[in-house]
Structure 1
Amino acid sequence: MGSIEKLYESDNFLVVNKPFDMYINSDDEYEKNTVTYHIAKPDSHLSSSVYPLHFVQRLDYATSGVLCIAKNKTSAAKAGKLFEKRFTKKYYLAILRGHVAFEVADIEFNVGIDQSSQESSHKMSALTTCEASASCMQSRQAQTRALRLETGYYEGDPVSVVLLKPITGRRHQLRVHCNAIGHTILGDYTYSGTRDSMPHRMFLHATRLVLPLQNEPLDIQTPEPFYTDPRFTTKWKSEKLYYKYKNKEDFQAVCEILDKSYVVGVQYKMYKM
């Protein structure tokens, strides 16, 4: 499997821990920095392949973590329906620039194509004001829940460790929403306006995926990826821990907090237009 860790495999699904800075697939048969290259034939994302794979979800090039792949059309359709109807649960660990002023937050800015990148449609933007509608095209409703886990400092600059749960699944949603509330993800070169280029990676990791399939319910979780990396820990200094989250049980406990529609007695903030 090369450098990609296999988290789960059956006749229907393969779930892997995608490294950061890797493509899921590519139409260039010579591109080796892809998930498909490491786990299958280079053309396996194409329907013409002898052994086609079906990516039922996407992760950005810079994002690491749980990636679910269906091995056949039937399984892909079943999983796709769950994603479409929002029956799946996805939880991401992220480190944001600045100290956030909330404990729990709902971010409900619409997300659309950033007009400045209309030609390539690579960049998205959030509809935060009526004026923003001019630069945010074809916007669609989007919702993200966030929970503050810890605050600290990265190379002396304030940062916050948060748990993010996307309720909808828009392109670049988490990155756009965090940027829209003034707390860009650490190392996000694109949404920091190319300023945040010093960290060795973007600190966004898909830590857990819950896929309630009828005959094969999946609840897949990866180990926490940041604090085992000396390239991060040598530059990190903790200030205040609000919730334990670094082992599997503690992480599942904080996920349960975000699953509730409201949490009594916490510092709550709603971001919407």
Structure 2
Amino acid sequence: MTSPERPALSQDDLPFAVLHRDAMMLVIDKPAGLPVHRGPAAKGRIIPVLTDHLDALRFGLPRRPEAAHRLDKDTSGCLVLGRHPRAMAQLNQLFRDGRIEKTYWAIVEGGPAEDAGLIDLALAKRSPERGWWMKPDPKGLPSQTGYRVLGRGSLDGIQLAWLALDPLTGRTHQLRVHCAASFGAIFGDEIYGNAPRSGGPGLHLHAQSIAIPLNPKREPIRAEAVPPPHMRAALAACGWAADDKLS
């Protein structure tokens, strides 16, 4: 069965901002709800995915860029794309070596007792039937996340905390499981929290900034993404102002 045809898209049609562009890579601000790849759930259906836009992101090069790492469909923010094979090889090595700094903003229900700390919980798949779903498991892969509390507040009677999360490892759903298991699920999480499957507030997890040391003789390339509209009420309740410096 052939895939449904989709119209060719131009740079004017891009539903996201390009935060950085050079000869090696792009950094885009991926919207929440946009899958990076067309997975099994999308088979036979015409739904928007990032790969629909890769031709429009060539910017004169003969090849389409490729995602150098992953963001969940419902996570917004900084996503790095390599523009050619040599760039992809270098970026993949930097990610494997843990040399790329990533900071996420999250709104969690409740919140940690301490204003900063380290979550050290090994993770494993919940079950073969659950696909990407994960759980804390002492026999799983080592997983660490640093956190800082940036603000606290409440929204509609729910106590919330605004966190900066620094993943020191890159496990599937790491931030979502670590928060839920340690002090409170990320607000709007349908899998590890109590958010409804439809009509909920949306996952409040945003890849806010990234720093990529492409050239050892220069400062890392940095990009920052403004939080998406669905997170701003909860962020404001925790003390964020739209005109604040992002980091």
Q: Same fold (TM over 0.5)?
A: yes
User: What is the percentage of aligned positions where both structures have the same residue?
Assistant: 25
Structure 1 Cα separation of the partners of residues 242 and 169 of structure 2? 23
Structure 1 Cα separation of the partners of residues 16 and 143 of structure 2? 31
In the alignment, does 2:222 pair up with 1:219?
A: yes
2:133 alignment partner in structure 1: 123
Structure 2 Cα separation of the partners of residues 236 and 220 of structure 1? 20
2:26 alignment partner in structure 1: 14
CA-to-partner distance for each residue in 1:44-95, whole Å, 9 max, x for gaps? 9xxxxx7343211100011000000001111011011111011110000000
In structure 2, the gaps of 5 or more residues are: 1-10
Q: CA deviation at 1:231?
A: 7.5
1:88 alignment partner in structure 2: 100
RMSD over aligned CA atoms reads 2.9
In the alignment, does 2:154 pair up with 1:153?
A: yes
Q: When the two structures are superposed, what TM-score results if normalisation uses the length of structure 1?
A: 0.74
CA-to-partner distance for each residue in 1:78-121, whole Å, 9 max, x for gaps? 01111101111000000000132110010000011012xx1352
Cα gap change, 1:152/1:196 in structure 2, threshold over 3 Å: closer, same or farther?
Answer: farther
Q: Is the 8 A contact 1:149 1:244 kept in 2?
A: no
2:4 alignment partner in structure 1: none
1:1-273 counterparts in 2 under 5 A? 1=11, 2-26=14-38, 28=43, 31-40=46-55, 51-115=63-127, 118-127=128-137, 139-192=140-193, 195=196, 199-214=200-215, 217-223=220-226, 225=227, 229=229, 232-233=232-233, 238=237, 247-248=244-245, 251=247
Q: CA deviation at 1:16?
A: 0.5
2:6 alignment partner in structure 1: none
Cα gap change, 1:231/1:76 in structure 2, threshold over 3 Å: closer, same or farther?
Answer: closer
Query: Secondary structure at the residue paired with 2:89?
Result: helix
Q: Is the 8 A contact 1:153 1:237 kept in 2?
A: no
Q: CA deviation at 1:7?
A: 0.7
Q: CA deviation at 1:156?
A: 1.3
Q: Is the 8 A contact 2:187 2:195 kept in 1?
A: no
Cα gap change, 1:147/1:246 in structure 2, threshold over 3 Å: closer, same or farther?
Answer: farther
Query: Secondary structure at the residue paired with 1:119?
Result: helix
Q: CA deviation at 1:31?
A: 3.7
Q: When the two structures are superposed, what TM-score results if normalisation uses the length of structure 2?
A: 0.81
Q: Is the 8 A contact 2:162 2:235 kept in 1?
A: no
Q: Is the 8 A contact 1:21 1:62 kept in 2?
A: yes
Structure 1 Cα separation of the partners of residues 242 and 185 of structure 2? 21
Structure 1 Cα separation of the partners of residues 97 and 236 of structure 2? 40
